[in-house]
Structure 1
Amino acid sequence: MGVRGRKPEKRSRKRWIIAIAVSFVVLLVGGAGAIYLKLNANIATFDSAGLSKNRPSAAAADANGDKAENVLLIGSDTRAGENGALGGSASGPVGRSDTTILLHVYPDHKHAVGVSIPRDSLVDIPPCLLPNGKWSPDQPNAQFNSAFSMGDTAKGNPACTQNTVEKLSGLRVDHTMVVDFAGFASMTSAVHGVSVCVPNDIYQGDMNPNLGYKGKIVLHKGTQSLQGQQALDYVRVRHGVGDNSDVGRMLRQQAFLSALISKVKGEGMNPTTLLPLANAATKSLTVDSGLGSAKKLLSFGLSLKNIDLKNIQFITAPWKYAGARIDLVHPDVDNLFAELRADRTLEGVNASGKTTTATPKPTAPPAIDGKGIMVSVYNGTVTDGLAGKGADKLKAAGFEVMNVTTAQSQDHDTTRIEYGTAPDAKTQAETVARLFPGAQLVQLDTTGVNVVLGKDFAANPTATAAPTPATPKPLPSTLTQQARSADADPCSKLSYG
């Protein structure tokens, strides 16, 4: 009897152990669910209705479902809410894009390139959806960061910036993320600071040139860990460092992102690090609907885990000063984006994830037929008779030449193909451009197509077709040498000048 009496006690103890274990699992799952719901509730999205109706084609996936992904990162300088305390409220609450980087993740998911686009660069802004439900007109030769301000709202217009980047690059943007001052500061605090190199002492007067005096040191020279307001000061300051320009500070922003990526990857999948960062990030970000959940953000983040730091590179779109603004340098910027569209790295390495067993034979481009297309030709150089040569070339291909004369200015380095707003205007301009490889296409309020010949045509007036994809032209070393990898010396390439 005594032995039989002890058996229920063992069974009872076992049941309690199982009950405690089950309860513990339920508690863990419930806690994870609460965290998941909290992260989901943090995320703000913007409406995809504002995206262009004429977007570049989506990248094709291979047999394994792998494809390139393009992610647009936008830093907003709105002073709305707590951002005013961090960036100063004098500029008002309207959101403007302070920083914009197009991140191209290659199909092999072992390489990535971030291209910084200067905020003051002159670009063509396509129609954008405004808060009143109307679409804006085309804006040729407009300042890039004005795209984000279309509609004059505190939250900005990320769809308009995405439309502009897609038109500039020819790449379809898969995802867009917007972060403001407060979000940036909180994310740097969530990882307990990022190690960066300050090139020289930074004073209060550098942060605020209107202060009228030098003031105290805000950031000391040397390598140090920065977070919160200090990290924000580091990436925003432009006076007292390098050439004192907006575009110059972009190099420090690239260096900071490199250091942030290095720290997160270095600590691995550590919940102690990732959960506070995820909480700060989701509270800070406004994203497209395709990233509008914690699960989607996590999935995207994990897709980048196998990229070595040395294969994550940052570069600034080729540029030059144009008075108080910046001109993007063509065809260099076009060639850069062409390399990304072809999934070649800055060094020309095939990062498509596909192995090539044989070099494909170049195929002859289709014949150029200019029938029914009216063109006016302008000599944009000091080379005599150039407009006539251009006109002869067009006539030989069947184009109808309307005018042959001298352009208003004769300092064009690159040939321009100008076209109007008619439905078939761009297609006609692209047909004309096949006779002038490397030409820049520009939409204006005009009729027909205008060809403004540049020095590139004067140097080689017989060229008719761009190089075939089988023989890609490598990017110039002057451009590729400007790139920095995420594992670069933190004190290198911090500013121009």
Structure 2
Amino acid sequence: MTDAKQKAAPNRSRGRRIARGLGATAAALVVAAAGTGAWYYQRLDHNITTFAPEGIASSRPPVATPAPTGGRPVNILLLGSDTRDDGNSSLGGGDEGVGHSDTAILLHVYADHKHAVGVSIPRDTLVTIPPCLLPSGKWSQSRTNQMFNSAFTIGEFKAGNPACTQNTVEALTGLRVDHTLVVDFKGFAAITSAVGGVDVCVPNDVDSYGIHLTKGRQTVSGQQAVDYVRARHGLGDSSDIGRMLRQQAFMSSLIKKVQGRGFDLTTLLPLADAATRSLTVDPELGSPYKLAEFAQSLQDIQLSDIQFVTLPWRFQGARVAVVEPDASILWNLLRQDRTLDGHPTGDAGASPGASTSPGAGAGLEPGPGASPSATATATATATASATADPGGAATLDVPVTVHNAAKTAGLAGRTALALRGNGYTDITIGANTPARRTTLIEYAPAQRAAAEHLAQLYPGAELRSTATDSIVLTLGQDRADTPGLPDGTAQDDTAGLGGASPSALPSAIPSGITDNTRPADADLCSDLNFG
């Protein structure tokens, strides 16, 4: 018995030594992992730059309400700065100085966090830049008819003024921007290198302005990647619009590359290090933990469930004008968290893409997510049309010009959107006119029936026969407290921001949206020029 105990003791002692050894090894691994994590955290935390929250406007669109499923839509403003400061001149050429935001994409992540739409805003778009914070602590005056990318330069801050661009986007869209991220040439080059390059398609050989690219499919990173997304002259149609299409294709390819490599640490840590070295973010994303949480919230979005669309546009001389009411319809769809073809993402088979069927687009019917008021309004409108004018289509095709004499900002645009939602097809937004108390509808004698049909939507409006090529709807101060919608149409709290109610969805998606949409999973070489 004693011998047995004596033999067992060394075995137990050896077992304890092994256990202690394993425990020490495990502890060492934990400490090492924690040390590496802490080192990376400190490195990333040191990398991240945030812009001052004081520059964000105090009057903003409301935060999007959660969907019935519990998720909430998120809007992310992605900006590319062309500053040559801080070593960026070696990648972009030129002199140092305050950069512009020549690349701007507003990414709308739907409440289900499985679909997304990226809206490209042309840099030359003429917009109103609202008051923005200056280095002196004062605020600038509102500026109309300004190039969009100039908002980034207001105040001539060394690192630009992303808060001013964010304010401008919110004023333009009526959407709350939840997060803003700015990346410069260095950061962009580092990101593409960290993922091992990005597949692109170059439309033609380029050998000008210091940029050298060869026609065809290839993988680019670093300097070549920067050249591909920033080149304009000599590549494709040499326009900024064409450049945006290539940027959309590049973003799609980058997303595909990251998703293909997976979300393991060997991919994420170098990518995070590369991204944060030249990244400026809003205060709410100003830590590695917040950035990681944000990135994780996007990982379930598949490439096939992402669309890119360019803000409906037209050339206005050397600049770009926003096409209305197409743009208002686009922002209205996103404010309602609907896909580009007008459906809630919860609908079976819904996708973020706009219909590409012939004509202006697919007809929209109240879907499972439509409110009772939306269905009732659509029914009432159809009934009124049929009763007032058996040949209702003719009255809806007549040209209508809308003037704002109510001195309520944006009322003409909202009215045009609402009229299109009620079936009118040919609408022009006219200039503001001298104030008048009541709404006036002017018409040529041959258009009397169409004018009376329109007057049903605006009870109390004065009808006047005159020499005119179209029906002219001049909105008076009796419409100043409404969002421009026909009577009986439900209103919502986005009305003051230029939006229409959920019931004011158009009967067809306009060509300004359908013609400017690119699926993220499209072939790399397709649609790289706007012409």
TM-score class normalised by the smaller sequence:
0.7 to 0.9
Question: For residue 492 of structure 1, what is the aligned residue in structure 2?
Answer: 526
SS of structure 2 residue aligned to 1:196: strand
Going from structure 1 to structure 2, the CA distance change for 1:133 and 1:102 (only over 3 Å counts) comes to same
Shift of residue 188, structure 1, vs aligned partner: 0.6
Question: For residue 184 of structure 1, what is the aligned residue in structure 2?
Answer: 188
Matched ranges for 1:91-106 at <5 A: 92-106=96-110
SS of structure 1 residue aligned to 2:502: coil
1:437-484 Cα shifts (integer Å, max 9, x gaps) = 46999999x996899999999655579735762462132245324311
CA distance in 1, matches of 2:49, 2:195: 22
Provide TM-score, normalisation by structure 1. Answer: 0.79
Answer yes or no: is 1:237 the counterpart of 2:231: yes
Letter in 2 for 1:143: M
Question: For residue 131 of structure 1, what is the aligned residue in structure 2?
Answer: 135
Answer yes or no: is 1:23 the counterpart of 2:28: yes
CA distance in 2, matches of 1:335, 1:64: 25
Provide TM-score, normalisation by structure 2. Answer: 0.74
Going from structure 1 to structure 2, the CA distance change for 1:434 and 1:253 (only over 3 Å counts) comes to closer
Question: For residue 162 of structure 2, what is the aligned residue in structure 1?
Answer: 158
CA distance in 2, matches of 1:126, 1:315: 24
Letter in 1 for 2:166: Q
CA RMSD across the alignment: 3.3
Going from structure 1 to structure 2, the CA distance change for 1:18 and 1:453 (only over 3 Å counts) comes to farther
Out of 239, 257, 271, the residue aligned to residue 277 of structure 1 is 271
CA distance in 2, matches of 1:42, 1:11: 45
CA distance in 2, matches of 1:199, 1:83: 26
Question: For residue 300 of structure 1, what is the aligned residue in structure 2?
Answer: 294
Answer yes or no: is 1:360 the counterpart of 2:359: no
Going from structure 1 to structure 2, the CA distance change for 1:152 and 1:485 (only over 3 Å counts) comes to same
Out of 130, 139, 147, the residue aligned to residue 143 of structure 1 is 147
Question: For residue 37 of structure 1, what is the aligned residue in structure 2?
Answer: 42
Letter in 2 for 1:465: L
Whether contact under 8 Å (1:127, 1:136) holds in the other structure is yes
Shift of residue 309, structure 1, vs aligned partner: 0.8
Question: For residue 485 of structure 2, what is the aligned residue in structure 1?
Answer: 465
Letter in 2 for 1:60: T
Going from structure 1 to structure 2, the CA distance change for 1:414 and 1:254 (only over 3 Å counts) comes to farther
Letter in 2 for 1:489: D
Going from structure 1 to structure 2, the CA distance change for 1:121 and 1:443 (only over 3 Å counts) comes to same
SS of structure 2 residue aligned to 1:195: strand
CA distance in 2, matches of 1:453, 1:243: 44
Whether contact under 8 Å (2:328, 2:417) holds in the other structure is no
Letter in 1 for 2:66: A
Whether contact under 8 Å (1:74, 1:178) holds in the other structure is yes
CA distance in 1, matches of 2:441, 2:232: 37
Going from structure 1 to structure 2, the CA distance change for 1:449 and 1:195 (only over 3 Å counts) comes to farther
Letter in 2 for 1:308: Q
SS of structure 2 residue aligned to 1:147: helix
CA distance in 2, matches of 1:185, 1:437: 45
Out of 194, 214, 221, the residue aligned to residue 227 of structure 1 is 221
Shift of residue 159, structure 1, vs aligned partner: 0.5
CA distance in 1, matches of 2:273, 2:285: 15
Identity %: 48
Matched ranges for 1:389-400 at <5 A: none
Letter in 1 for 2:148: F
After alignment, is 8-17 or 110-119 more displaced?
8-17
Answer yes or no: is 1:253 the counterpart of 2:247: yes
Question: For residue 516 of structure 2, what is the aligned residue in structure 1?
Answer: 482
Shift of residue 78, structure 1, vs aligned partner: 0.6
Answer yes or no: is 1:67 the counterpart of 2:59: no
Whether contact under 8 Å (1:180, 1:284) holds in the other structure is yes
1:334-356 Cα shifts (integer Å, max 9, x gaps) = 11111111111112221268994
Letter in 1 for 2:212: V
Shift of residue 417, structure 1, vs aligned partner: 3.6
After alignment, is 430-439 or 116-125 more displaced?
430-439
**Would you say how many aligned residue pairs link Structure 1 and Structure 2?**
433
CA distance in 1, matches of 2:189, 2:485: 50
Going from structure 1 to structure 2, the CA distance change for 1:434 and 1:89 (only over 3 Å counts) comes to closer
CA distance in 2, matches of 1:230, 1:9: 61
Whether contact under 8 Å (2:191, 2:274) holds in the other structure is yes
Answer yes or no: is 1:320 the counterpart of 2:314: yes
1:11-52 Cα shifts (integer Å, max 9, x gaps) = 223212222122212211221222122212211000111111
Question: For residue 389 of structure 1, what is the aligned residue in structure 2?
Answer: none
Question: For residue 351 of structure 2, what is the aligned residue in structure 1?
Answer: none
Question: For residue 360 of structure 2, what is the aligned residue in structure 1?
Answer: none
Out of 123, 126, 138, the residue aligned to residue 122 of structure 1 is 126
Question: For residue 10 of structure 1, what is the aligned residue in structure 2?
Answer: 15
1:195-234 Cα shifts (integer Å, max 9, x gaps) = 000111111x2x35xxxxxxxx811111100000100110
Shift of residue 359, structure 1, vs aligned partner: 5.5
Whether contact under 8 Å (1:419, 1:442) holds in the other structure is no
Letter in 1 for 2:301: I
Whether contact under 8 Å (1:45, 1:292) holds in the other structure is yes
Question: For residue 343 of structure 1, what is the aligned residue in structure 2?
Answer: 337
SS of structure 2 residue aligned to 1:148: helix
Going from structure 1 to structure 2, the CA distance change for 1:298 and 1:442 (only over 3 Å counts) comes to farther
